[in-house]
Chain A
Amino acid sequence: MEIGVKRNGIFTISFFAAVLSWPTQTNAICRTFYESDGSYTENICEEDTSNEIGIGTTAPGAKLTVQTNASGTAVQLLSGSTGYHTDLSIGRASTEGQLGIAGVGDLVLRLNDSTKKLLLQAGTGTAPLTVTNSNVGIGTTSPAYKLDVNGAGNFTGNLTVDTNVLYVDTANNNVGIGTAPSASYRLHVDGVPFIGGNVTILGDLNMGGAPMVVWEQYHRVGINENSPGAKLEVNGNVYVSTPGNGIVWKHADEARLMVNSNGILGTQCSGCSGDSQLEVALFVVDEFGAAGECSGGYIYYDEDAYEDGFEALNYDQIRVNTDPGVDARDFVDFSGGGQDNNDPYGADFADVFLLATHGSHDCTGGYSEFTMGDDGDCKVRTSEMEFGNGGSNEEAKVGLLVACDSVHQCVWENGGYDDMFHGGFNILNGYHGTSYDNHDNDIGDYIEIAEEGGVGDDWVDLLTCDGGPFNIHDQQCATSMVFGGANYTAAFIYHNEGFKNFYDQGGHTYTDTWFDCGCNPDGGVALYDHKCE
């Protein structure tokens, strides 16, 4: 009978010619297999005292011991084609794997040396599961923690860390720190949190029992008051007791009323920038072509309408500058050799300036340009302007440019207006493309309407051309450019800043332009279609 063959050092069972004999050895009965040429192949021995069988050994240590040479594979079981049948099955009858184990007891895979790695892997690359040094790694073969995950995780059930140190309630999408979270709270913290950076809360803040309530939606704070009816409502006494402190009532950024640390009521401004006056500077350039002035066609403005608007708001100073008293230096920054802080003519000297004249723009150069009425200084560019930049009498907050191309999209896209904005200067209104010069009364109405808010939004509402007899709604495109410390801050200023209600915009980090979709003026590219697509 042909039973065994030595093939590549592996003992296999096949049908091959062999010579079989059963040599007798001490304490063991062995059978030696020989190749057909008589060469020695392998022994199969039975230890006679313990009844243990050894293959390749005369001293088996277990019921079946298979021992091979140092470089050989001891056992290989193959069953049909790999991938279709189970190659090694221990207590398992199905045929879909190469190793199948099933049983009623524990399965222990253990390495004697804890520094070695037990890897589980499907396919190639880094083993997705590694056990070593009493740690488990997922996505890492060198786990440094009990569970070390390199990559994203997903829990469809709750996650708990040391009872309530951290509790993730996936059923209600809530997180608890130091406690299991109440179903009412997205984040429930039981303990004292320390937050080393900014906190943004897009909802109300309630300090249980209402010692303090912050209504985010209405920008109001109540102290001992659940429903604050003003920006700050305090239900109780207010003490200012630290020596050296006082109370200052401000309008815009200017102190209007002050109680100093000695309890003395006063109106002087102390420690605040700017003066306490509300000022507007109107620049109306309307006579072109006359001697000593810029050339150009007939143009008409009624500065009275502008003046009336600010008079209705009780502005303290209304300075009307018409040609030939106007020149470009009134808009060029003081530090650049201009006179924009000059009293009474400088644009930056006032809180609000308005310039009505001819305008044009240069996308590539990144500026809008305006015609002034003084020969020799007939043009001024936005690239020469800086407002609110903190020098002496430089405190502009809002600019109104009643001129063509004064806030043009392509100039804004190229950052052509960015350097104009400093300090409290945060809104510049103008036009993308051609403007009309007979909006005098509309602008007067706009000034009154935007007293307490809407300097940006109301401008686009009222100065984007009305229908009139020519149905020209989409041909004059009023635009408003706003700067803020954040995207949402700019939006807030655009809607809420008023001519008597200026805001600190918290920096000049972000800028917006606002317009009506589908507006398509002369001299300007259409502002998208009516769906802004």
Chain B
Amino acid sequence: MFRICDSRIFVVVFLSMASVTAQAVDLSRDAQDRLRSRLVVDESAINLWPALGESFDWNIGPSFDPQLFMNGIEAVAGIEGVWEAGETERSWRAETPFHTIKVIKEKMLFVVRDQRPYYLDPIPESMPEDSVLLEQARTLLEAIGARPDEMETHHIAFRARRSKPHKNLSSAPPSAPEKMSKKVYFDRSIGGIPIKGDKIVFTFSLDGRFRKMIGKWRRIDYGASTMSSSLSEEQFLSVSVEQLLVAGVDPDDAFPIYLGTTYVPYEISPGVFAVDLKGVARIGIYGPNGERRWHMHYYDI
């Protein structure tokens, strides 16, 4: 979603960038026009105002509750045995004969693993619908304190492998892809704007049983966050051009630049984060042999 707010004051902030080159930065109108010609503006990626309902909860998210998490895992995985839990300064962990849980507290990294070799199980005759897997994934996200309005973006894919013997042993061709598990990716977003770095990846065996969960989902205080921008679309484009020139992006490179917005978290107290709305540019780079590479540049707006 994109909104134009012409009545707002346009302020361009020049930030010192650690990666600024030693060369003088050309911020001339001509350089800005040339770089602007590289921009590909996809309005679906640019969102200066999140779509927050009137009932949006601005309060800080709940702190991590180990018991709630274990209950959630038991609900989807049918844990056998008794949890043995322990805690260190860095992490909290729990184990059963089949599962291990580790939560790295400072970063809110979550690791749940089923130790059984589920990936060697034969392919079942029928696989569950994706909706069944999504439901289990949402149950686990709720168990770590995620809000339903943060779970909008997901992606599902088969994880596959191909195999072959070492070339010195056989000239047999590699095998066809063999589906081994199913992955459900949840990217955290709020009001339609993604939150940089926060995502959880769930693994299910092909029979639909929960097997693994890894990723990061931080405790965010939305009330302390900068959730929207004061810029209009035109102002956003102008700020983006200048910020990219300051960062040393070549205005004459032939590769396009895609613009978008995202929330970037930062820690405001131990284990508590706020987010700032930032512009993000997806910049194509040519390597020494003309090969492409993508760089994601984040900047204030």
Binding site for B on A (CB under 8 A): 217-218, 227, 229, 288, 294-300, 312, 358-360, 369, 371, 378, 404-405, 409, 412-415, 418, 434-438, 441-442, 445, 448-449, 451-454, 457-458, 460-462, 464, 466-473, 476, 483, 487-488, 490-492, 494-495, 508-519, 522-523, 527-528, 530-532
What is the CA–CA distance of A442 and B109 in the complex, to the nearest angstrom? 11
Shortest C-beta distance, B212 to chain A (Å), equals 7
Given A296-B287, A360-B287, A470-B282, residue A517 in contact with residue B179 (CB < 8 A): yes
* Chain B residue, CB-CB nearest to A532: B177
* Chain B residue, CB-CB nearest to A366: B167
Q: B13-28 interface mask toward A, CB cutoff 8 Å, 1 = contact, 0 = none? A: 0000001010000000
State which of B4-12, B53-61, B196-204, B225-233 sits at the interface with chain A: B196-204
Given A453-B113, A469-B262, residue A514 in contact with residue B185 (CB < 8 A): no
Within 8 Å CB of A517, what residues of B? 157-160, 177, 179
Q: Are A466 and B292 in contact (CB under 8 A)?
A: no
Some 13 contacts from A to B, beta carbons below 8 A apart, are: A227-B97, A378-B288, A404-B292, A404-B293, A409-B162, A445-B109, A445-B215, A461-B214, A469-B193, A473-B157, A509-B165, A510-B163, A532-B178
B83 contacts the other chain (Cβ, under 8 Å)? no
Q: Are A466 and B293 in contact (CB under 8 A)?
A: no
What is the CA–CA distance of A218 and B287 in the complex, to the nearest angstrom? 46
B138 contacts the other chain (Cβ, under 8 Å)? no
Q: Are A468 and B98 in contact (CB under 8 A)?
A: no
What is the CA–CA distance of A342 and B193 in the complex, to the nearest angstrom? 47
Partner of B194 from A451, A469, A488, A510 at Cβ < 8 Å: A469
What is the CA–CA distance of A466 and B295 in the complex, to the nearest angstrom? 14
Within 8 Å CB of A404, what residues of B? 287, 291-293
Q: Are A468 and B155 in contact (CB under 8 A)?
A: no
Q: Are A418 and B295 in contact (CB under 8 A)?
A: no
Q: Which chain B residues in 213-248 approach chain A with CB under 8 Å?
A: 214-216, 248
Binding site for A on B (CB under 8 A): 19, 21, 42, 45-47, 90, 97-98, 100, 102, 104, 107, 109, 111, 113, 115-117, 119-120, 153, 155, 157-169, 173-174, 177-180, 183, 185, 187, 193-194, 196-197, 199, 201, 203, 212, 214-216, 248-250, 253, 258, 260-262, 280, 282, 285-289, 291-297
What is the CA–CA distance of A445 and B42 in the complex, to the nearest angstrom? 30
What is the CA–CA distance of A528 and B174 in the complex, to the nearest angstrom? 14
Partner of B162 from A378, A448, A513 at Cβ < 8 Å: A513
Partner of A298 from B159, B160, B295 at Cβ < 8 Å: B295
Q: Are B179 and A532 in contact (CB under 8 A)?
A: yes
Q: Are A415 and B166 in contact (CB under 8 A)?
A: yes
Given A358-B291, A418-B168, residue A312 in contact with residue B90 (CB < 8 A): yes
* Chain A residue, CB-CB nearest to B116: A217
Within 8 Å CB of B90, what residues of A? 312
Partner of B164 from A300, A511, A516, A528 at Cβ < 8 Å: A511
Partner of A511 from B98, B116, B163 at Cβ < 8 Å: B163
> Besides A418-B168, A516-B183, 7 other CB < 8 A contacts?
A359-B287, A371-B289, A412-B174, A437-B294, A514-B161, A517-B159, A517-B160
What is the CA–CA distance of A528 and B199 in the complex, to the nearest angstrom? 25
Partner of B214 from A298, A359, A462, A466 at Cβ < 8 Å: A462
Q: Are A296 and B288 in contact (CB under 8 A)?
A: yes
Within 8 Å CB of B216, what residues of A? 445
Given A445-B216, A468-B260, residue A418 in contact with residue B289 (CB < 8 A): no
Q: Are B212 and A470 in contact (CB under 8 A)?
A: no
Interface centre among A462, A492, A519 (most CB of B within 10 A): A462
* Chain A residue, CB-CB nearest to B173: A413
* Chain B residue, CB-CB nearest to A415: B167
Within 8 Å CB of A469, what residues of B? 45-47, 193-194, 260-262, 280
Shortest C-beta distance, B283 to chain A (Å), equals 8
What is the CA–CA distance of A300 and B18 in the complex, to the nearest angstrom? 10
What is the CA–CA distance of A135 and B26 in the complex, to the nearest angstrom? 101
Within 8 Å CB of A217, what residues of B? 116-117
Shortest C-beta distance, B86 to chain A (Å), equals 14
Q: Are B291 and A359 in contact (CB under 8 A)?
A: yes
Q: Are B212 and A457 in contact (CB under 8 A)?
A: yes
Shortest C-beta distance, A65 to chain B (Å), equals 71
What is the CA–CA distance of A495 and B173 in the complex, to the nearest angstrom? 24
Partner of B158 from A358, A405, A509, A532 at Cβ < 8 Å: A532
Given A296-B287, A298-B295, residue A466 in contact with residue B120 (CB < 8 A): no
Shortest C-beta distance, B128 to chain A (Å), equals 15
What is the CA–CA distance of A514 and B166 in the complex, to the nearest angstrom? 16
Q: Are B177 and A528 in contact (CB under 8 A)?
A: yes
Within 8 Å CB of A371, what residues of B? 287-289
Shortest C-beta distance, A219 to chain B (Å), equals 8
* Chain B residue, CB-CB nearest to A229: B97
What is the CA–CA distance of A513 and B176 in the complex, to the nearest angstrom? 11
Within 8 Å CB of B115, what residues of A? 218
Partner of A509 from B117, B166, B297 at Cβ < 8 Å: B166
What is the CA–CA distance of A360 and B289 in the complex, to the nearest angstrom? 8
Shortest C-beta distance, B82 to chain A (Å), equals 11
What is the CA–CA distance of A522 and B194 in the complex, to the nearest angstrom? 23
Shortest C-beta distance, A527 to chain B (Å), equals 8
Q: Are A294 and B165 in contact (CB under 8 A)?
A: no
> Nearest 6 A-B pairs (CB), nearest first?
A415-B167, A469-B260, A358-B287, A438-B296, A532-B177, A461-B201
